[in-house]
Structure 1
Amino acid sequence: MSKIVPLPIKSSAIVIKELQDDIRPSDPIKANEYILQNMFFKQDETGQLTPYEFTVGLDEFKKHGLGLYLYFKFLEYAIYVFFIMSIIASVICYFNSTGNGLDAWKNLNLLQKLSVGNQNKIESSSGTTYTTSDIQQFYTDSSMWLSTLTWMDFSYTLIFILFYLGFTYWSNKSISESLVKEKVPANFSIGIKGLREDERDPNKLKNFIEDLGFKVKEVKYAKNYSNTLLLHKQEAELKIKLKGEEIKARYPDYDPKIKQKYLKELQEIQAERETIIKNTIGKRLKHDEYPTLMAFVIFQRIGDKNMFIKEYKTNTNFNFFQTLCCGKKVEDKYLYKGNVLKIIPQVDNPSNINWENLEVSSSNRFLRQIIVGLGVFCLMIITFFIVFAINVVSKYSPEDCEIRDYTYENTQQWISQASTASEKSQIQQCFCMNLSLTTLYADYFDYCSDIIYQYTGIQALQIASAFVILIVNSLLQLLIKSIVTFERYQSLSKKLSGTLTKLFISLFVNTALITLILKANIYGFKLSYYLSSPIPPLQSAQQKEVFPSDFNREWYAVVGAAYVNTWIINIFSPYFIDFVLYPIKNWFRKREAANAKIQRDLNKLSVGPEFDLDLYYANLLNTIFVTLFYCSLIPLMLPLGFLALLIHFLVQKFLLLKFYRKPPSYDEALHDSVFTLLPYSIIMHILIAIWAYGHPYIFPSSSDALIDNEGFLDVSKDSVWIRISNSSQISILGVIFVIILIIKYFFINPLQYLVKVCCDSEAVVVDFAQEETYDQIYDQISSVQLATYEIRENENYKDLVYSLDSDHRSPTQRKSEEERVPLQDI
C-alpha cells in the first residue's frame, strides 16, 4: 500500500491569493477547478476527480457524511417495505371494489370504490323494509369482511413496526461503527472548555496533551466574537462584491446603481458593528485577539482520543465522596495552568460548525427557541386559515342524493311531484351524477350540460386548491427556514434538525389534518364550523356544505375519494417539478455563467444549488405520515406512497449526482430527529384504523345494534369500547407497540445512561498497530470535506477572517469608506 502524503494546511498568504483570484476577471479554467472541488465527485486511484455514475452504490455516500448516507439508506429500505405493504393493500383494494356500499355515488369518483366505505351495504329482501333475516345476513357478511380487513391491516402495520425497530437497531449500530471505521474529522476530535479567555497559543495546549502520552494532529481555538461575527461576515462579503463591481465597471453595460447599493449596505453594517464593538469589546481586534471560547483537538488516532477521554475523566472527575472521604486529588500533570479542563467527547465536523453561534449559551438558545416556536405557531395559524378557506371554497361534491332508482322516467316523475325549483334541480342533478360517463355523454349531454359544467368546475377547483396548498406550503417552508436562523444553532446539522421538525409539522397539518378537520362531524360536533366562526364568510359558506358523520359511507364518497386526487398532486408535483425544471435551470445557469464578468460569479454559476436535506427529509416524513394516516380508510394510499418514495429516491439521487453541489458533511442529527418522530405515524395509523373499522354502520358490532327504523337502517349502539373490540387485532398491536416504546424510552435508554455513567463504559479502543493515523488519511478526508478546524480554511469564513485582520486600523486612519475595502490594499 502506497503511503499517502498529507496535504499541508494553507497559509494566510494562500488564502489572500485565493481571494484575489475570486474577484479577478472570469477564467473558465479556474471555474472548472472550482467545479471539481465543489460538485459531488469521486476520487479515482490516480487522485483525479470524476463524476459518479447513477448506478453508484449508497455505500459511496458514506464518504460524504454519515447523515447523507443514512438518509438515502432509510429511503431505500422504506421503498422495499412500502412495496410489500402495497401488495397487501392491493388485495384490500380488490375486496373493497367488489362491494356495493357506494353505488349511490358511483360516478362521483372512480377511486371511491377502492375505499373501505364501499363494503357491502344491507339489502332488503322485500324491497321496502329490512327484515331480521336481512339484518342478520348483513351482520354475518360484514363480520367476515371486517376480520379479513383487520388481519391484513395488522399484517402490513406489523411489517412497518418491524422495519422501524430493525432500521433503528441497524442505524444505531452503523453510527457506533462509524466512530471507528469511517474517516471523518469528528471521529478523531474532541472539544475542550474551561480555558482562560486570554489563551492565545494552541501549541501550549497541544504540548500539555502530548505530555500525557497522546499524539495530537492539531489544536485550534474557537473565539467569542460578542455576537459580531455575522456582521463581520456580511461586511466581508460586501467588500468582495464591491471589488467585483470595479471589474464590472470596465464593461459598457455596467449599472453604477448596484455599487451605490452595496456601499449603502456596507455603511449600515459597519455602523452597527462599530456600535457593538464600542459598547461591548471596547476596541477593534484582530481575529486571534478575540477572547478564546473553547478548543478543538484532532488526535492522530481514534485510540488516542478514546484513551485520553477515559484517562483524563478517571483522574479528574472525582465525586464528593471520593474527594472528602477517600482523599482523592487531581495530580498536577492533569491540571492545565491550574485548572481542570471540561472535555466534550463528540464534536461536529469542521464544515458542519456555525462558528458565530458557539458563543450562545444554552439558556439563551432555549429562549430563542421559544420565540421561534411561537413565531412558527403564528405562521401555521395563518396558513391553516388560508388552506382552510381554499378547501371551503372548493366544495367536494354536488348536493347529496337520496338512494333511489334514478331512471329517466322515475326522474321526470319525481321532478313533476317536487314543490320547489331547488328540489327539481337537485333531482335532475342526482340523475345525471348516477349515469355512467359513456351514457352521460352519448345520450344525456344536452339534458345534463349544466351539471357537467358544474362538476367539471368542481374538479378544476379541487386541482387548483391542491396547487394552491402546494404554493402555500412552499412559502411556509421559506419563512420557517428564515426564522429558524434566529435560534443560533451551533452546527448545521442541529439547525437542519430544528428546521426539519417545524417543516414537517406544517406540511402534515396542511396536507392531512385540515382536510380531516374540514369535514369532521363527531357525534354532531363540527369542528370546522366552530373554527370558522371568527370569519363569517367562511362560516356561511359551510352552512351549505355537508358534514359527513364520522367515517360513514358518505365520508368516503364526499371527502375520501376527492382527497386522493388532491394527494396525488401533492406527492408527485414537487418531484415532477424538480425533475422537469432540472434541464431548464441548468440551461439558465450556464447562460448566466457565459456572461459572468468576475471569477466569483462564474464559480457560483458553475455549480448547482444546495442540497436541502432538511426539506427533503420533511417531505419524505410527510409522505410516510399521510400515507399511514389514511391507508386504513383508503388502502390505495399505500401504492401511491410507494410510488412517491420511489420517485423521491430516483429524482433526488440523480439530482445530487448531476445537479446539486456537494453537501456539507452531515452527521446523524437529522436521522435521529426523524426516528424520534416516526413512532407517532404508527400510533396515529393504529388509532385511525380502530376508529374506521369500528364504525357500527359499516361494521356493526352485533345484529342487535341494527334497528329497522321505518325502512331506514339506523344505529342504536356505539361507543369507543365497541370500536376497539371490533378491531381487536389492531388494538392489541397498538398496545404492544406503545409498551415497546415505553420500555425503550423509560427503561432501556435510562439504564444505558446509568451504566455509562456508573461503569465508565467507553468506546472500544482500536489496536494502535492496525489503526491509520490522521496524517495518513488526511488526503482522503480533505478530498471530500474540510479536514481541519482552522477557520481560515473554511470556505464560508475565510473572507471574514481576512476582513477582521486587514480592517484592524482605527476609523481615524481611514480617509474614506473606499479605503475600508481591504482587498483594495492588496
Structure 2
Amino acid sequence: MSKIVPLPIKSSAIIIKEQEDDIRPSDPVKANQYMLQNMFFKQDETGHPIPYEFTVGLDEFKKHGLGLYLYFKFLECTIYVFLVMSIIASVICYFNSTGNGLDAWKNLNLLQKLSVGNQEKIKSSTGTEYTTSDIQDFYNNSQTWLSTLTWMDFSYTLIFILFYLAFSYWSNREIKESMVKEKVPANFSLGIKGLREDERDPNKLKGFIEDLGFKVKEVKLAKNYSNTLLLHKQEAELKILIKGEDIKAQFPDYDPAVKQKYMKQLLEIQAERETIIKNIIGKRLRHDEYPTLMAFVIFERIGDKNLFIKEYKANTNYSVFQTFCCGKKVDDKYLFRGNVLQIIPQVDNPSNINWENLEVSSSNRFLRQILVGFGVFCLMIITFFIVFAINVVSKYSPEDCEIRDYTYENTQKWISEATTASDKTQIQQCFCMNLSLTTLYADYFNYCSDIVYQYTGIQALQIVSAFVILIVNSLLQLLIKSIVIFERYQSLSKKLSGTLTKLFISLFVNTALITLILKANIYGFKLSYYLSSPIPPLQSAQQKEVFPSDFNREWYAVVGAAYVNTWIINIFSPYFVDFVLYPIKNWLRKREALTAKIQRDLNRLSVGPEFNLDLYYANLLNTIFVTLFYSSLIPLMLPLGFFALAMHFLVQKFLLLKYYRKPPSYDEALHDSVFTLLPYSIIMHILIAIWAYGHPYLFPSSSDALVENGGLLDVSKDSIWIRISNSSQLSILGVLFVIIMVIKYFFINPLAYLVKICCDNQAVIVDFAQEETYDQIYDQISSIQLATYEIRENENYKDLVYSLDSDQRSPTQRKSEEERVPLQDI
C-alpha cells in the first residue's frame, strides 16, 4: 500500500456557523460558545469542554493531531538529550576555565574563560625565554588535552546522532500506526487525471471503475476556474468586511474611510474577474460548466482502492519493449472515453485542499517558487546588511595585553617609556582591564573613566544589536509568511513545510552565520571586508578593525564571548516575552472585546492567537543548529541550548493550554521536513569542530612547528590535512555519519522502493468481510473533518460555488439581490 498520511485539517470548531454569526451585531453568548469550541479544551464526563491541566501528558495531544504530538515529543526528547550533552560540555567548560590563554582579556567577559580559546599558553621555566623543554612540555600537554577534548566532543556528538536515528525510527513507527488506527478520507481515496476537459458527469467515471469490479463510494470532479475562484474567495471576505462596516456605521465613533478602502479593493477584484471571464473563459459559466481538471474517487474499502491501482497499472503501464516487441496493448475495457487514465495513489484530505490552487501547473508553480526564493533571498540580503551594520557599529577589538605585573606604579613607568600615543593608551587600557571591578570603582574610576565608558557603551551596543537582530528576524518571519502565499501550494501541509524551510534558513543566517562572517579571517581572506565594499562607510569602519584569525585566542575573546551575550538574549527573550506579556495581552484582548460591535470581531477577541507550528518548529530547529554549530568552540552553548529548549517546551505547552486557540489537526509533514534538515546540523558541527580543534595556534601539530614571534610563542600555519588529522576521532565520526546518510538515501530507500514494487506485483488478498467500509466509519470521520470531496459541502468554498452560479443572473437581478448572497469568511 502506498504511503497515505492523515493531513492537516481545519478544526471543526473553527467552522461552526461562521457565515451566520460573523456579520451580525455582537452577542456575548455566541462568543462564549465560540470560545468553548475553539480553545484547547477537553470534554468531561458530561461532554462539556473544560481546560486541560498543565501536567497533562503528551499522549493527550495526539487526539488533536499527530503533528502536534510529534512536535512536543521531539522537543521533550531533545531536552533530555541536550541535558546529557550539557553534562559532558560542563566538564569541558571546567577544564577550559583553569587555563590562562585569555588572561590578557581578563575583564572583557567572564564567559570567555569557558571557551576552547582559554587553553594553557606556554610557560617559561626561566621567566624570559622558552627552552626546548618548555616547548616540549607545552606540546605534550596540548596534545593530551586535545585528545581529551575531541573524545568528549565525539561522545556527545555520537549521542545526538543516535538520538536522531532512534527518534526517526520511533516517529516513522508512530506514523504507520496512526495510518492504520486513524481512518481518514485520503486512506480510501485516489486522484485521477487524464480526463477530457468537457467531462461533466462523475457518474460515468464511477460506472467505469465499478464495471472493472471495484466498489466506489463517490466520484467528485475538480474544476479549472482560471483563477476566478481565488478572486471569488477574496471578494467574499471583502463583502463580509463591508457588511461589518455597515453595522459599525450605526455607532457615533465610526470612520467611513475604512469602508471606502474595502469598497475600492472590492471593485478592483471584480474588475479583474470580469477581465478573466471576458478574455480567457469567454462567457459566464456555472460551476459545473467549468473545464474538468481531475477527479477524486472514494472507494468503499481500502482494499478496493489498492486492488484497482494494481490492476489498472498492470494492464495500462506497458513499457516500450512490451508494446513494440511483445505486441501488448491496452484492453478497451481499461480505456475511459478512449484515454488511459493517470492514477494519483496519494491525495490530500478534502479539508486540506486549496481548491483554487489545483489549477496551477507544476511548471507554473516551479516558476513561482523560483520567484519566491529570489524574493526571500533579497529579503535576507537586506536583513543581512542591517544585522551586519549593527555588528560593525558595536564592534570591540582590544589589543592583546602582555602578561605583566600591572601595578599603578609600573603602569606609569611603562607609559613614560612608551614612544607613541597608541602604545600609551594600550598600556593604560591593559592596566584598567586587569583590575577587579571593586578596585576599579573604589580607587581608579577617575583614571579609567574613559575606558569604563567605552566598555560600557560597547556592551550596551551589543545588547541593543541583539534586540535589533530579534526585531529583524520577527519582521522577516512576517514577510516570508506573506510572500509564501504566492507559491500557490495545493495543500496546507505543503505550504507550512515550505514556510518552515524558508523561516529556518533566514533565522540561521541572521543569528549564526553573520557573526561568523563578520570577523572571519581565513589565511588573510576577510569575507566581511569584501561584502561591505558596496557600502563605503561599513568598509571604512572595518579598516580600523584587527580581524581575528579563524578561531585563534583573539577570536574567542572578541567574537566568541560577545556572541554568547547576544545568543543568550536571542534564545531566551522570545519565550520570556511571550510568557511575561501573555497576561497583559490577554487582558487587553478581553478589554477590546467589550467594545466589539460585530460578532466577527467579538469571536476573534474571545480566543487567543493562532499556534503557528511552522514558526515554532523553525525557532526550535534554529536553536538546535546554532547550539551545535558553536558548541565545539564554546561548550557553554550546550547548557544554554538545554535551558532554551526547556523554556521553549514549558512556555509553549503552557500557552497552548491556556492562551492559544485550538490548532488545526496537523499531520507529520512538518516533522518530516525537520528531520530532512536535521542531519545538516550534525555535519556542520563536525566540520566546525575539526577546523577549531586543528587550529595550530591552540593545538600545534608538532613541537617543530613552534616558532618565536615577537617574544611570545606562536605557531606556524599548518595545512588543512593536518587540521583534519588533529581531530581524527571527529573526522572518522563525520565520515561514518555521511556514509550512513548516503546508505539511507541512496541504497536503503531505493531498495525499499524496489521491494515495494516487487511486492505490489504479487497477488493481494483482501478479506472484504473483515474490512470496514467507508459508510461504516463515515459518521466517525465526519465528526472530525470534512468527509467528502464535494466542494459544495466544504465550509470554505460552498458559498463561493453558489456565488459562481449566481453570476448567471442579470445585472439588474444581481444588484437587487446582492445583499442576500450568502457569504463565507475564508
Instruction: Give me the TM-score of the superposition, normalised by structure 1.
Output: 0.93
CA distance in 2, matches of 1:686, 1:432: 39
Query: How far apart are residue 223 of structure 1 and its match?
Result: 1.7
- Specify the alignment match of 1:304 in structure 2: 304
Query: How far apart are residue 216 of structure 1 and its match?
Result: 3.9
CA distance in 2, matches of 1:763, 1:552: 66
Instruction: Please state if 1:254 is matched with 2:254.
Output: yes
Quick check: 1:575–1:647 contact (8 Å CA) kept in 2? yes
Quick check: 1:131–1:708 contact (8 Å CA) kept in 2? no
- Specify the alignment match of 2:572 in structure 1: 572
Deviations 1:223-251 (A, max 9, x none): 21102222111111111222222322333
Query: How far apart are residue 293 of structure 1 and its match?
Result: 1.4
- Specify the alignment match of 1:9 in structure 2: none
Within a 5 Å distance, the mapping from 1:460-479 to structure 2 comes to 460-479=460-479
- Specify the alignment match of 2:122 in structure 1: 122
Query: How far apart are residue 211 of structure 1 and its match?
Result: 4.7
Quick check: 1:218–1:299 contact (8 Å CA) kept in 2? yes
Instruction: Please state if 1:313 is matched with 2:313.
Output: yes
Instruction: Please state if 1:105 is matched with 2:101.
Output: no
What SS class does the counterpart of residue 181 from structure 2 fall into?
Answer: coil
CA distance in 1, matches of 2:609, 2:764: 40
Instruction: Please state if 1:164 is matched with 2:164.
Output: yes
CA distance in 1, matches of 2:678, 2:777: 37
Out of 329-338 and 482-491, give the one that drifted further: 329-338
CA distance in 2, matches of 1:317, 1:796: 37
- Specify the alignment match of 1:489 in structure 2: 489
- Specify the alignment match of 1:407 in structure 2: 407
| 302 and 77 in structure 1: CA distance in 2 versus 1, 3 angstrom threshold | farther
Quick check: 2:185–2:350 contact (8 Å CA) kept in 1? yes
- Specify the alignment match of 2:290 in structure 1: 290
CA distance in 2, matches of 1:782, 1:110: 60
- Specify the alignment match of 2:435 in structure 1: 435
Cα RMSD for the two superposed structures: 2.5
Out of 586-595 and 752-761, give the one that drifted further: 752-761
Quick check: 1:354–1:490 contact (8 Å CA) kept in 2? yes
Within a 5 Å distance, the mapping from 1:162-201 to structure 2 comes to 162-201=162-201
Query: How far apart are residue 414 of structure 1 and its match?
Result: 1.1
Query: How far apart are residue 18 of structure 1 and its match?
Result: 5.8
Quick check: 2:307–2:764 contact (8 Å CA) kept in 1? no
- Specify the alignment match of 2:233 in structure 1: 233
| 196 and 488 in structure 1: CA distance in 2 versus 1, 3 angstrom threshold | same
- Specify the alignment match of 2:552 in structure 1: 552
| 632 and 19 in structure 1: CA distance in 2 versus 1, 3 angstrom threshold | same
- Specify the alignment match of 2:3 in structure 1: none
What SS class does the counterpart of residue 180 from structure 2 fall into?
Answer: coil
Query: How far apart are residue 718 of structure 1 and its match?
Result: 0.8
Query: How far apart are residue 431 of structure 1 and its match?
Result: 0.9
| 671 and 770 in structure 1: CA distance in 2 versus 1, 3 angstrom threshold | same
- Specify the alignment match of 2:740 in structure 1: 740
Out of 136-145 and 745-754, give the one that drifted further: 745-754
What SS class does the counterpart of residue 254 from structure 1 fall into?
Answer: coil
| 306 and 655 in structure 1: CA distance in 2 versus 1, 3 angstrom threshold | farther
Quick check: 1:500–1:618 contact (8 Å CA) kept in 2? yes
Query: How far apart are residue 187 of structure 1 and its match?
Result: 2.5
Query: How far apart are residue 344 of structure 1 and its match?
Result: 1.2
Task: Tell me which amino acid in the other structure corresponds to 1:147.
Answer: S
- Specify the alignment match of 1:643 in structure 2: 643
| 806 and 610 in structure 1: CA distance in 2 versus 1, 3 angstrom threshold | farther
Instruction: Please state if 1:822 is matched with 2:821.
Output: yes
Task: Tell me which amino acid in the other structure corresponds to 1:289.
Answer: E
Task: Tell me which amino acid in the other structure corresponds to 2:736.
Answer: I
- Specify the alignment match of 1:674 in structure 2: 674
What SS class does the counterpart of residue 297 from structure 2 fall into?
Answer: strand
CA distance in 1, matches of 2:784, 2:56: 16
Out of 77-86 and 66-75, give the one that drifted further: 66-75
CA distance in 1, matches of 2:561, 2:766: 58
What SS class does the counterpart of residue 219 from structure 1 fall into?
Answer: strand
Task: Tell me which amino acid in the other structure corresponds to 1:733.
Answer: L
| 394 and 280 in structure 1: CA distance in 2 versus 1, 3 angstrom threshold | same
Query: How far apart are residue 624 of structure 1 and its match?
Result: 0.8
Deviations 1:42-61 (A, max 9, x none): 45565544433333333333
| 38 and 785 in structure 1: CA distance in 2 versus 1, 3 angstrom threshold | farther
CA distance in 2, matches of 1:580, 1:264: 41
Instruction: Give me the TM-score of the superposition, normalised by structure 2.
Output: 0.93
What SS class does the counterpart of residue 179 from structure 1 fall into?
Answer: helix
| 753 and 646 in structure 1: CA distance in 2 versus 1, 3 angstrom threshold | same
Task: Tell me which amino acid in the other structure corresponds to 2:165.
Answer: L
- Specify the alignment match of 1:132 in structure 2: 132
Task: Tell me which amino acid in the other structure corresponds to 2:304.
Answer: D
CA distance in 1, matches of 2:260, 2:601: 19
Task: Tell me which amino acid in the other structure corresponds to 1:739.
Answer: I
Task: Tell me which amino acid in the other structure corresponds to 1:308.
Answer: F
Within a 5 Å distance, the mapping from 1:295-694 to structure 2 comes to 295-326=295-326, 328-694=328-694
Deviations 1:623-646 (A, max 9, x none): 111111100000010111111111
- Specify the alignment match of 2:272 in structure 1: 272
Query: How far apart are residue 300 of structure 1 and its match?
Result: 4.0
What SS class does the counterpart of residue 294 from structure 1 fall into?
Answer: strand
Deviations 1:731-751 (A, max 9, x none): 111111111112222222222
Quick check: 2:522–2:550 contact (8 Å CA) kept in 1? yes
CA distance in 1, matches of 2:373, 2:613: 21
CA distance in 2, matches of 1:773, 1:221: 22
Quick check: 1:756–1:762 contact (8 Å CA) kept in 2? no
Query: How far apart are residue 664 of structure 1 and its match?
Result: 2.7
| 588 and 139 in structure 1: CA distance in 2 versus 1, 3 angstrom threshold | same
CA distance in 2, matches of 1:464, 1:155: 37
CA distance in 1, matches of 2:572, 2:697: 34
CA distance in 2, matches of 1:784, 1:409: 81
| 779 and 704 in structure 1: CA distance in 2 versus 1, 3 angstrom threshold | same
| 802 and 47 in structure 1: CA distance in 2 versus 1, 3 angstrom threshold | farther
Quick check: 1:180–1:187 contact (8 Å CA) kept in 2? no
Task: Tell me which amino acid in the other structure corresponds to 1:494.
Answer: K
CA distance in 1, matches of 2:444, 2:95: 32
Out of 523-532 and 19-28, give the one that drifted further: 19-28
Query: How far apart are residue 820 of structure 1 and its match?
Result: 7.1
Task: Tell me which amino acid in the other structure corresponds to 2:570.
Answer: N
What SS class does the counterpart of residue 172 from structure 1 fall into?
Answer: helix
Instruction: Please state if 1:752 is matched with 2:739.
Output: no
Instruction: Please state if 1:30 is matched with 2:33.
Output: no
Quick check: 1:388–1:518 contact (8 Å CA) kept in 2? yes
CA distance in 2, matches of 1:181, 1:158: 34
Query: How far apart are residue 791 of structure 1 and its match?
Result: 2.8
- Specify the alignment match of 2:242 in structure 1: 242
Identity %: 88
| 681 and 809 in structure 1: CA distance in 2 versus 1, 3 angstrom threshold | same
Query: How far apart are residue 491 of structure 1 and its match?
Result: 1.0
CA distance in 2, matches of 1:528, 1:425: 28
Quick check: 1:202–1:220 contact (8 Å CA) kept in 2? yes
Quick check: 1:135–1:703 contact (8 Å CA) kept in 2? yes
Quick check: 2:198–2:291 contact (8 Å CA) kept in 1? yes
| 391 and 385 in structure 1: CA distance in 2 versus 1, 3 angstrom threshold | same
Task: Tell me which amino acid in the other structure corresponds to 1:177.
Answer: E
- Specify the alignment match of 1:64 in structure 2: 64
Out of 463-472 and 279-288, give the one that drifted further: 279-288
CA distance in 2, matches of 1:364, 1:277: 21
CA distance in 2, matches of 1:133, 1:646: 49
Query: How far apart are residue 64 of structure 1 and its match?
Result: 3.1
Deviations 1:11-50 (A, max 9, x none): xxxx998624332222223223333443333455655444
Task: Tell me which amino acid in the other structure corresponds to 1:287.
Answer: H
| 556 and 144 in structure 1: CA distance in 2 versus 1, 3 angstrom threshold | same
What SS class does the counterpart of residue 547 from structure 2 fall into?
Answer: coil
Task: Tell me which amino acid in the other structure corresponds to 1:609.
Answer: P
What SS class does the counterpart of residue 700 from structure 1 fall into?
Answer: coil
| 815 and 304 in structure 1: CA distance in 2 versus 1, 3 angstrom threshold | closer
